Amino acid sequence: MPMNVSPAGIEAIKQREGFTPTPISDGARQEIGYGHDILPGENIPSPIDEAAATQLLEDDLVPVATVINDSVSVPLNQNQFDALASFVYNIGASAFRNSTLLKLLNLGDYAGAAGQFGRWNMSGGRVNAGLVARRKSEAAQFTSPVADVSTTATS
């Protein structure tokens, strides 16, 4: 059954991306909201509010979830899926499909896959402190257990 990014996963991505109400440029592209790439001809009012930015993010995560569901052949818990969604949202589908992280994951080497997050820390040919922190956060999310509410005791 296909998985989707959880509300907690969306909140984690929002934290990692940060909110910008007006377009910012990294030289190659423009972003607004929570890391939404503004496409040529796309008319997004500026400044954007957080509700509109959240909707853009949720829309952007639909194809991200599809990429993960189509590419990963081993079972994932929700934290693993959400961490991968953050990763794919940041690096892109093509890079993910060709990554050692995905290859190791599909071999069932979850620990090896988790260790790959940190390798994606470069921007412009240099180690980027923001990406180092993001990858550390994604790896921690990937390796953290999900609470099983079905075993919670009731009185």
Residue 33: exposed, middle, or buried by beta-carbon count in 10 A (0-12, 13-18, 19+)? buried
**DSSP run (H or E) holding 57:** helix 50-71
CA angle 139, 142, 147 (to 5 degrees): 140
Report how far residue 69's alpha carbon sits from residue 64's, in angstroms, rounded to the nearest whole number.
9
The residues carrying an active-site annotation are 17
Report how far residue 113's alpha carbon sits from residue 141's, in angstroms, rounded to the nearest whole number.
13
Q: Tell me the β-bridge partners of 29.
A: none
Report how far residue 52's alpha carbon sits from residue 33's, in angstroms, rounded to the nearest whole number.
8
